[in-house]
Structure 1
Amino acid sequence: MSSHGLPTSNDPQAEPDDAAPAVDDTERQGSFTTLALLVMGVFSYLTMEMMVAPIVPFVQQELGISASQSAWMLTGLLVVGAVCLPLATRYADIADKKKVFLVVLGLSGVGAILAAVATTAPLLIAGQMLQGVGVAVVPIAIGIMRDSQPLDRARTANTIFVVSGGLGAAVAYVAVGPIVTHLHYSYIYWFPTVVIAAVVLIGLRALPACPPIAGGKVDWTGAVILGAALVALLLGLTFPTTLGWGSPLVLGLLALTVLLLAVFVAVERRHPSPLVDLRGLAEREVFGVVSINFAHSIVTFVMYVILPTVALLPIAIGYGMGGDASTAGLVLLPYALLVVVAGPTAQRLEPILGRRGNMILAAVLIVAAGLVLLPIGSAPWTPYLCSALMGLGLGIGFTQSLNTIVRVVPAERVASASGAVYLVRSVGGVLGGQIAAAIFSIGLTAAGAPSWGAILANILLIVALGVVSVGLSYLLAGRSAATATAALTPARA
């Protein structure tokens, strides 16, 4: 009898509702407390992270730092997050996930406090970099739910985590303006940190212990090699903005990335307890989820570049909205709000469409989001529609990704497999932002604004990646295949 009520197979139909074990009121109350604490931790961190980019100009002005220095507020967070993510999630797989979650969340809170009190650029950047450790909170939270709750509740929790991300983004877009106008930019750190502190203190007693299902050791050699490769990659993707893609430094960093990744693969294949389960990632559906999320993350950051730019361009140019900074934030608000809707939508559609069908639907919505921008010259409302369709498509895709990982990956590897999804999203996000910025810099008008050709090229990139995602969706099991697999595998209560 499984201690967690898990089925022998991770496939969805392997644990039908009518075979679910009875749950008493005490267990329900405990699961609600666990979910509430995890959601509060995830929401507070993601909200704080989303509010960093809009305050950069205010930080530059107050601390008197250059644009290149302030850029490290975001770059440093991404680099540290990418390096710590596989290490933290792997450690969560072989240790008590509760302890790892609270330590990671607590460190992000300490980083936020450092950034809030910083009066110099180095201290602010150090705080932001330490805050980046918190990127691991979501995959570890997913692992806690998978370990401590039945499969159906873990799936529901995935949806709620995605919704929390959407709500965090919506709050960030709406609240950052009033905060910096009427208070001080440091309050974007203080408000979430209060919630983080409460979650850590209450969670010490209220969160369930999640001892490892399987033993193992941290592959420190692999961690150092992968960390160095990710630092080289992210710096190689960041420096082209100032140095250009042909810079010897950029080319050298990208070449070093390839070399280090080759060494990493060789080391991991021989290690008895690898940092990254390469064989598991090569499994058909896991590979499909990771590949789709890489494409989706590029799309997301291309959108982050296009929509605010279009919002600020003058109407006279023919494809601008003539707005201000508030418009640039509001144009992304439908994206955040539709992500909230997308999570429950994906949950309800999966029994009808299957895993593959949900992913195809997400990809079609992304393609539609790109295409609706084409008539922007005669329909200035199209960026809002693009934002909404993008939120719905990316939200459905991300929810389905997390649910697929929970179903097809062994429970002892759920945290690290989810971490791999977040890792490729970080790398893809940096790449997408750099590609979009490079296209804009190449296609400038005489007045210094992005040309329609540059806008169109980025739109076509979104459409192309949406089409690629349709193809990658066929790596996931169709509805009939999932049902057939489930029929061969009896449930274990």
Structure 2
Amino acid sequence: MSSHGLPTSNDPQDAPPAVAAGTADGAGSQGSLTTLVLLVLGVFAYLTMEMMVAPIVPFVQKELGITGSQSAWMLTGLLVVGAVCLPLATRYADIADKKKVFLVVLGLSGLGAVIAALAGTAPLLIAGQMLQGVGVAVVPIAIGIMRDSQPLERARTANTIFVVSGGLGAAVAYVAVGPIVTHLHYSYIYWFPTIVIAAVVLIGLRALPTCPPVVGGKVDWTGALILGAALVALLLGLTFPTTLGWGSPLVLGLLVATILLLALFVVVERRHSSPLVDLHGLAEREIRGVMSINFAHAIATFVMYVILPTIALLPVAIGYGMGGDASTAGLVLLPYALLVVVAGPTAQRLEPLLGRRGTMILGAVFIVAAGLVLLPIGSAPWTPYLCSALMGLGLGIGFTQSLNTIVRVVPAERVASASGAVYVVRSVGGVLGGQIAAAIFSGGLTPEGAPSWGAILANILFLVALGVASVGLSYLLAGRRSARTTAATLTPAQA
């Protein structure tokens, strides 16, 4: 991959073999293990806390007496702040010490959680949730720390572990949130992870390795302001249609503003000597493929989040419901979380055999299969669990392969920001997917107010179409021959 004067690739065949510094003795291995454990604990604590927010919304509404539109901002506010802060935080991590940026971002998310836990009013709770959204940047920055401080193959293994941590966090969230709100108080979903976050920050101050920037630079504050405004306009434009409709002047105005702001952002970035986003790098074939695939996968994820809990709660008599309760709605997503844990290591082992392209295609095929198995749900009520499991495999393989591709083809000094761009794309795709799925359901209701089979079927076919599109987009990635030529491991300095 060309990078306009930057190293062409992190692929081992592009540089001479080398032995990673610090790995020849036990001290180096011990240090890398400590680094990995602290990063994984931070990522796990944040993602677990994030996944437990949605199930507690009804309890928060009841205790604080807030409306549904207010409580929706518990999730929307977190997403908006996360999407806006991601490019800024990850770019800053590229030109500063990643250790410091990681600890600050993680610490701010913990502070937001404390504010939300202590909140007695809706505005304060929402403010805490929004500050918590800063923590979305912990994963790409953790990836950057591993890429800077460890050999390439160990950094790729860490990517797998981060994906597994996300799956485990979701699994813990789905299982633990019920007992917590039943026997304790919803605020404990904030307190338990915050204890872990505080421990990681305090220990990490001494134990995490410093990661000074490979090259100098400065933060493009003008670009950050324009991109932040564009993302806020876009995400609000995608969330308001539920209540205002897609034809609302406010919604249309926000979407038009998004287009104009993004166009201005491109102009500014192309003229800046140290841009917030490396537009030239994002235009490269494989990175363009990774971004496109993750956009489709994010839409598919939130379509699944709408379909499966809805089916779980619909009565059996309707012909395509499971007749369950809130616990069933959570448990039906548990196979997804558990199979993500399996999918990460699977992708790591498959890439040398199938190549980047083949591995990504396999993940997309699982997504297609996940939609298709829902078709006979009337006669096979267990199919939502199978759908959930197949989605876990497909999305887990796809996300792990995406991160591994970023680590391989992006210059080391841009790994954090490139990984952050993936998360921004996933945030936007997630909001869009949830809105589309909800709109399809709203447009096809039975006289009793339940989603009709036609609406269920339309969302299922939409899920299948996203999987098929992902198969096609996978051809932007390198094939098996490229994967098989890897024979040596780079040190961070050589990458």
Tell me the TM-score normalized by structure 1: 0.96
Amino acid at match of 2:33: F
Once the two structures are TM-superposed, the CA of residue 354 in structure 1 deviates from its matched residue by 0.7
Alignment of 1:391-402 (within 5 A): 391-402=392-403
Amino acid at match of 1:425: R
Number of the residue aligned with 1:289: 290
Number of the residue aligned with 2:88: 87
Q: Distance between the aligned counterparts of 1:477 and 1:127, measured in 2?
A: 43
Number of the residue aligned with 1:442: 443
Number of the residue aligned with 2:24: 23
Amino acid at match of 2:40: V
Number of the residue aligned with 2:122: 121
Number of the residue aligned with 2:233: 232
Q: Distance between the aligned counterparts of 1:332 and 1:296, measured in 2?
A: 16
Alignment of 1:294-313 (within 5 A): 294-313=295-314
Number of the residue aligned with 2:78: 77
Once the two structures are TM-superposed, the CA of residue 13 in structure 1 deviates from its matched residue by 5.4
SS of the equivalent of 2:396 reads: helix
Number of the residue aligned with 1:45: 46
Q: Distance between the aligned counterparts of 2:15 and 2:321, measured in 1?
A: 52
Once the two structures are TM-superposed, the CA of residue 20 in structure 1 deviates from its matched residue by 6.2
Once the two structures are TM-superposed, the CA of residue 325 in structure 1 deviates from its matched residue by 0.4
Alignment of 1:205-284 (within 5 A): 205-284=206-285
Alignment of 1:416-455 (within 5 A): 416-455=417-456
Number of the residue aligned with 2:3: none
Number of the residue aligned with 1:63: 64
Q: Distance between the aligned counterparts of 1:78 and 1:179, measured in 2?
A: 24
Question: Contact (CA 8 Å) 2:353, 2:484: kept in 1 or not?
Answer: no
Q: Distance between the aligned counterparts of 2:142 and 2:489, measured in 1?
A: 28
Structure 1 pair 12–382 and aligned structure 2 pair: CA distance change class (3 A): farther
Q: Distance between the aligned counterparts of 1:226 and 1:419, measured in 2?
A: 14
Q: Distance between the aligned counterparts of 1:470 and 1:12, measured in 2?
A: 27
Q: Distance between the aligned counterparts of 1:430 and 1:65, measured in 2?
A: 22
Q: Distance between the aligned counterparts of 1:209 and 1:189, measured in 2?
A: 29
Q: Deviations over 1:282-307 (max 9, x none)?
A: 01101100100000000000000000
Q: Which residues of structure 2 form unaligned runs of 5+?
A: 1-6
SS of the equivalent of 1:185 reads: coil
Number of the residue aligned with 2:161: 160
Structure 1 pair 15–190 and aligned structure 2 pair: CA distance change class (3 A): farther
SS of the equivalent of 1:122 reads: helix
Q: Distance between the aligned counterparts of 2:235 and 2:87, measured in 1?
A: 15
Percent identity reads: 87
Does structure 1 residue 96 correspond to structure 2 residue 97? yes
Structure 1 pair 398–12 and aligned structure 2 pair: CA distance change class (3 A): farther
Q: Distance between the aligned counterparts of 1:108 and 1:488, measured in 2?
A: 38
Alignment of 1:275-354 (within 5 A): 275-354=276-355
Q: Distance between the aligned counterparts of 2:361 and 2:100, measured in 1?
A: 38
Corresponding pairs, count? 486
Amino acid at match of 2:253: G
Structure 1 pair 487–126 and aligned structure 2 pair: CA distance change class (3 A): closer
Question: Contact (CA 8 Å) 1:219, 1:275: kept in 2 or not?
Answer: yes
Question: Contact (CA 8 Å) 1:14, 1:490: kept in 2 or not?
Answer: no
Once the two structures are TM-superposed, the CA of residue 10 in structure 1 deviates from its matched residue by 1.1
Once the two structures are TM-superposed, the CA of residue 483 in structure 1 deviates from its matched residue by 4.1
Alignment of 1:104-115 (within 5 A): 104-115=105-116
Q: Distance between the aligned counterparts of 2:222 and 2:441, measured in 1?
A: 40
Once the two structures are TM-superposed, the CA of residue 58 in structure 1 deviates from its matched residue by 0.1
Q: Distance between the aligned counterparts of 2:288 and 2:121, measured in 1?
A: 43
Q: Deviations over 1:213-235 (max 9, x none)?
A: 01101000000000000000000
Question: Contact (CA 8 Å) 2:20, 2:490: kept in 1 or not?
Answer: no
Number of the residue aligned with 1:11: 11
Q: Deviations over 1:325-373 (max 9, x none)?
A: 0000000000000000000000011110110000000000000000000
Q: Distance between the aligned counterparts of 1:107 and 1:18, measured in 2?
A: 38
Once the two structures are TM-superposed, the CA of residue 481 in structure 1 deviates from its matched residue by 3.5
Amino acid at match of 2:10: N
Question: Contact (CA 8 Å) 2:355, 2:484: kept in 1 or not?
Answer: no
Q: Deviations over 1:231-269 (max 9, x none)?
A: 000000000110111111101100100010000001101
Structure 1 pair 489–350 and aligned structure 2 pair: CA distance change class (3 A): closer
Q: Distance between the aligned counterparts of 1:77 and 1:370, measured in 2?
A: 29
Question: Contact (CA 8 Å) 1:10, 1:406: kept in 2 or not?
Answer: yes
Question: Contact (CA 8 Å) 1:8, 1:489: kept in 2 or not?
Answer: no
Q: Distance between the aligned counterparts of 1:322 and 1:54, measured in 2?
A: 18
Alignment root-mean-square deviation, CA: 1.8
Q: Distance between the aligned counterparts of 2:295 and 2:457, measured in 1?
A: 22
Q: Deviations over 1:50-71 (max 9, x none)?
A: 0000000000000000000000
Once the two structures are TM-superposed, the CA of residue 158 in structure 1 deviates from its matched residue by 0.2
Once the two structures are TM-superposed, the CA of residue 437 in structure 1 deviates from its matched residue by 0.3
Alignment of 1:111-190 (within 5 A): 111-190=112-191
Q: Distance between the aligned counterparts of 1:361 and 1:9, measured in 2?
A: 25
Q: Distance between the aligned counterparts of 2:141 and 2:487, measured in 1?
A: 31
Question: Contact (CA 8 Å) 1:366, 1:389: kept in 2 or not?
Answer: yes
Q: Distance between the aligned counterparts of 2:55 and 2:398, measured in 1?
A: 26
Once the two structures are TM-superposed, the CA of residue 19 in structure 1 deviates from its matched residue by 6.3
SS of the equivalent of 2:381 reads: coil
Once the two structures are TM-superposed, the CA of residue 480 in structure 1 deviates from its matched residue by 1.1
